[in-house]
Every structure is written in C-alpha cells, then in structure tokens.
Amino acid sequence: MPADPVAFLSYVHFDDDHNHGRITTLRERLEGEIETLYGRPVRILQDRTGIGWGEPWERWIEDSLDAVAFLIPVVTPKYFQSDYCRAEFERFRERERQLGREDLILPIYFVDADEVNEEAVRVTDPIAVELHRRQYADCRDLRHESLTSAAAGRRLEGMARKIKAAPPPPPGRPSRPRRRPAPTAPAPPAPVSEQTSPSSRNEPTTVTVDGMGRGDYTSLVDAVRAAQAGTRILVRPGLYTGGIVLDKPLEIVGDGPLAEIEVVATGETVLRFETTMGRVSGLTIKQRGGDGYGVEIAQGRLFLESCDVKSEGLSCVAVHSGADPVVRGNRIHDGKQAGVFVYEDGRGTYEDNDVFANAGAGFAVQEGADPVVRGNRIHHGKQSGVYIHTDGRGTYEDNDVFANAYSGFEVKTGADPVVRGNRIHDGKGGGVYIHTDGRGTYEDNDVFANAYTGFEVMTGADPVVRGNRISANTQPGIWVHEGGKGTYERNHLWDNKRGPWAIAADAGEVTRLDNIEAAPS
C-alpha cells in the first residue's frame, strides 16, 4: 500500500547534521506514531529522503508543499536565517489563508532561539511573530535524549494525535501563487505549471541486468558504466563480477531473493562509491580476499539498504573522507577486519543492521570520524563490539551489543563518543573499557552479565558515566585505577560479584554523586 504524504518537514540541514541526524530520526519516529494512529502507511516529506533521481529540487519542494495537509517547521536560530525555510513558511501560510484555516502549521521548537524567547527580537520578524502565536511542540529537551525512551514516545504520540485530530483541508488544490524567490538568488525561479504534481514527475530510466541474457545487460559493471545519471538498475538473480565504481548518481536494486543476487570481487573492492548520491539495495556483496572492502564509500551520501555484505579481504564497509551515508537494514558479517570501519572524518547514519562474526570490531571509528550508530545488533565479534580511538567521536544509541570476545565498547586515545541507551551484555571481556586518555558520555545504558567489569577506567581516561544500570558482572561494577578519572552520577549498581565499586589508590580525581547500590525500584 503506498504511503500517503501528510506533512512536509521544513528545517535547516546544518541543524540535522550538527545533531547527528536527530531531526531526521524525530521525523521517522513521528511518522511511525502517525501511521500507528491512522492504521495505514503515511509519510512526512523530507528533502533528504524524498527527491527522485535527477529531479529538480525546487520543483520537488513546490509539489510537496501542495501535496500535504500540514507544514512542520523545526524551529532553531538558523531557521529564521534560512531563505528557503522562510519561503516554505510563507508559501504554506498563504495556502492556509486561502483555505480559511490557521491550524495547518505545526511548529516543533528544537533549539532555543531569541526570535521565540525575546519579544524585542521577535517583533522585528513577522515569521517569528506568526510562529510564536501558534501552539508549538516544545522538543528542546529531546535534542539530547534518546528518542526511543518512554517519555519521548509519549511526546511524539501527543504530536501525532494533534495531526490526526485536525480536520484535513478540503479536496482539491487552492490557486497557486508563484513562489517568492530567496533574496540571495540571482533571479527568480521559473514559474511552475499549474498542472505539475507529484504524479506527473518524469520516472527515472530503468534498465535490467540479467545473467541469462533476458535483460538489457548481462554484466553489472557494463550497466553501471553505460548508465546515465539518475538511472535505476534492476539486478535479477545471478552471479556478477564486482569491481564496480559508482561515480554518478545511480540506483541499483536487487530484483529477486537476496541470497540469489551475488556481486563478488577478489583482490579489489566490490563496490566503491565516489559521487554525490546513490542507492544500493537488495544485493549480496562478497569480497573474496586480497586488498579490498565489500563496500567503500569515499564521498557523498549512499543509501545502502537491505544488503548482505561480507569481506574476506579488509572490512565489510569502509567510510571515509567526509562521506555521509545511510546504512540501514543490512547484514554485515564475517569481515576479515572490522564490520564497519569509519575513519578520516567519515560520518553517516547506521541503523537496524545486524553486525556479527567479524574478525575485528563490529564498528571501528577513528581519526575524527563522527557517525550515528543506532538500533543495531553488534555481536559475536572476535574483538570489541565497538572500538573508538584516535579522536573518534559519534553517537551510539539503542544498540544491542553482546557476546563479543573483548569489551562491548572500547574507547581510547582522545576518543569522545556519546553512548546512550544501549544494552551491553554477555561479553567475554568487560562491558565498557575506557583507557589511554579516552573520554565520552555514557548514560542510560544497561551493562550486565559481562565476564569482567561493567566499566573499567584507567590511564588518564576521564568519562562522564551517568544514569546507567550496571549489574551481574563478574568483576566490580565500576573499576577505576592507574590514573583513571571521571564523574559517576545517578547510576544503579547491584549484584556485581566483586562489589559495586573498586576505586584504587592510584586512581586520579573521581567524582561520585547520587549513585544507588541497588536495583531500580
């Protein structure tokens, strides 16, 4: 069943990027709550997920604003500075006026803004005045909290109920004013035809790869080489040779059972991505040895979805040089090195993947890399579940990290992650091992049943450990020694076999506040 578009998300990309994709996650969670209440698939349109291949951005925005019932502006200081956001707001406000409505713009207040808080600033900006007089959802506190928590769920459900309760606009489209150009644009955009609508967009060119010769190509390499930007390539069951370089925006989609569509390479990377945007889904990707990755993402945004990725050479997936992919719903396993290797300022969002049985860490993050790792299963690795070092960063939340040979998380050498809301358990080493000047914030995690400590902190490491539940570990719940430091507050520690704490005489400065040596009530 196709998903109905119900709202358009108006926001500033910087705000989403700086907050590690939390605006996108907020949109996804809200979309799910609305779908739950409606009982059918729905969509909140967002320019990062909805633009078709080769489709003009301006036209997509125009069509989307006309196709939805509600506008959801994400209010931050930069929202008021964005010419595009202001144009979207003014266009939708005009639509409200034509319909005689004042309940179709539903603001989300995400970051403190003087335009909202300070009347002297607000009165100088008509959009700020208009936003302030409306009832908005105050989500400032969710910016740094897990969006899968019960409190966040209740907030999102309330927002979804408000959308469901609002009477939809009448059928048909109001007369369409010409969009106002952004003040910084050199010339106004060309007027858009009254007949333009999402259903009238040009469909992308589609070609088929079939090893039996019943398609346009028998070779996937040849199909990629010949394709024009924006082409969709359907790959039917078969065994195909890799060594593929995606250097233009393409969509490659498996057309059949995942296990029957194999793309393989030996001595080189199976698929290397070096363009602005693309999508690969439904392929089994096997690197069979030698110097190569399963998938290497060297720039741009690749959507890698629903694939099975294995590498007998290097890591299964490698991301570097500022690339910012979305890696979702894959099996990433049996890598000769890491499952996912993010380095040299690599970014990306990694969600709902099954990462297991890799010879290195499930995720290895280093050299300024800053990924968002959310909702994955990271298990049965031969080293640590997540290994962050050499100034690696990132946000790691709501993952299930278990049964790894070393620690669930290992953090060292200037690494400074945010580790929130994870289950870290049944490791053959400790739960979280922070050492050699590692830092980070660790909050609201369940750390239990590990063969060593819950947390071990040593050699200049200085973490903030807050609000965790640490239980049933074989050694102390928290062990700080050999110059380890840190702040430990509001943690629950119980049933650890060697006691809740071991603070050695050679530990550095340790601050303990409001910890409870019992299970949560």
Strand order across the beta sheet in which 4-10 lies:
42-45, 4-10, 70-75, 108-109, 137-138
249 touches 233 (CB < 8 A): no
Structure-model confidence comparison of residues 43 and 11, the more confident one: 11
Q: Could you give the CA distance from residue 339 to residue 244 in angstroms, rounded to a whole number?
A: 20
Kindly give, in sequence order, each residue whose CB lies less than 8 Å from that of residue 255, ignoring residues fewer than 6 positions away.
208, 234, 235, 236, 261, 282
- Residue 285, φ and ψ in degrees, nearest 5: -115, 120
H-assigned helices in 176-318: 220-226
What single letter denotes the amino acid at residue 88? E
What single letter denotes the amino acid at residue 342? V
Ordered DSSP codes for 359-410? SS-SEEEETT---EEES-EEES-SS-SEEEETT---EEES-EEES-SS-SEE
pLDDT digit string, tens, across residues 422-468: 999 999 999 999 999 999 999 999 999 999 999 999 999 999 999 99
pLDDT digit string, tens, across residues 474-515: 999 999 999 999 999 999 999 999 999 999 999 999 999 999
- Residue indicated by tokens 């709902």: 352
Highest mean pLDDT: which range of 126-130, 193-197, 287-291: 287-291
pLDDT digit string, tens, across residues 377-414: 999 999 999 999 999 999 999 999 999 999 999 999 99
Q: How confident is the model at residue 63 (pLDDT cuts 50, 70, 90)?
A: low
Q: Could you give the CA distance from residue 307 to residue 237 in angstroms, rounded to a whole number?
A: 14
Q: How confident is the model at residue 168 (pLDDT cuts 50, 70, 90)?
A: low
Query: What are the Cα distances from residue 141, in Å, to 27, 171, 376?
Result: 16, 37, 24
187 touches 181 (CB < 8 A): yes
Query: Does the pLDDT of residue 183 top 60, yes or no?
Result: no
Q: Could you give the CA distance from residue 393 to residue 342 in angstroms, rounded to a whole number?
A: 10
Across the range 102-120, mean pLDDT stands at 92
Q: How confident is the model at residue 136 (pLDDT cuts 50, 70, 90)?
A: confident
pLDDT of residue 412: 98
Q: How confident is the model at residue 201 (pLDDT cuts 50, 70, 90)?
A: very low
pLDDT of residue 49: 47
Burial class (CB in 10 A: 0-12, 13-18, 19+), 286: buried
401 touches 379 (CB < 8 A): yes
> Residue 459 in 3-state DSSP?
coil
395 touches 420 (CB < 8 A): yes
pLDDT digit string, tens, across residues 18-52: 887 889 888 888 988 888 887 888 788 886 544 44
pLDDT digit string, tens, across residues 236-282: 999 999 899 999 999 999 999 999 999 999 999 999 999 999 999 99
113 touches 119 (CB < 8 A): no
Cα distance from N-terminal residue to C-terminal residue, the chain:
44
Query: What are the Cα distances from residue 393, in Å, to 235, 290, 344, 364?
Result: 37, 29, 11, 11
Structure-model confidence comparison of residues 69 and 319, the more confident one: 319
Tokens representing residue 326 in the block: 């979305």
Beta bridge partners of 332: 309, 355
448 touches 425 (CB < 8 A): yes
Element (H, E) at 88: helix 83-99
pLDDT of residue 35: 84
Beta bridge partners of 295: 271, 317
Which of 66-75, 101-110, 207-216, 378-387 is predicted least confidently? Answer: 66-75
Q: Could you give the CA distance from residue 414 to residue 127 in angstroms, rounded to a whole number?
A: 43
Tokens representing residue 209 in the block: 């790869």
57 touches 84 (CB < 8 A): no
Kindly give, in sequence order, each residue whose CB lies less than 8 Å from that of residue 440, ignoring residues fewer than 6 positions away.
388, 411, 415, 416, 417, 418, 419, 434, 463, 464
High-pLDDT (> 90) share of the chain, %: 67
Q: How confident is the model at residue 204 (pLDDT cuts 50, 70, 90)?
A: confident
pLDDT of residue 197: 38
Measured on CA atoms in the order 328, 369, 299, 45, is the torsion positive or negative? Answer: positive
Measured on CA atoms in the order 227, 232, 238, 243, is the torsion positive or negative? Answer: positive
pLDDT of residue 95: 81
pLDDT of residue 200: 39
Q: How confident is the model at residue 174 (pLDDT cuts 50, 70, 90)?
A: very low
Q: How confident is the model at residue 87 (pLDDT cuts 50, 70, 90)?
A: confident
Query: Does the pLDDT of residue 175 top 50, yes or no?
Result: no
pLDDT digit string, tens, across residues 306-349: 999 999 999 999 999 999 999 999 999 999 999 999 999 999 99
Q: How confident is the model at residue 155 (pLDDT cuts 50, 70, 90)?
A: confident
- The full length of the chain comes to 521
pLDDT of residue 53: 44
Domains in the chain and their CATH numbers?
4-189 (3.40.50.10140)
pLDDT of residue 101: 84
Q: What is the mean pLDDT of the chain?
A: 88
The residue among 427, 480, 483, 423 whose CA lies nearest residue 452 is 427
- Beta strand 423-425 pairing with 400-402: parallel
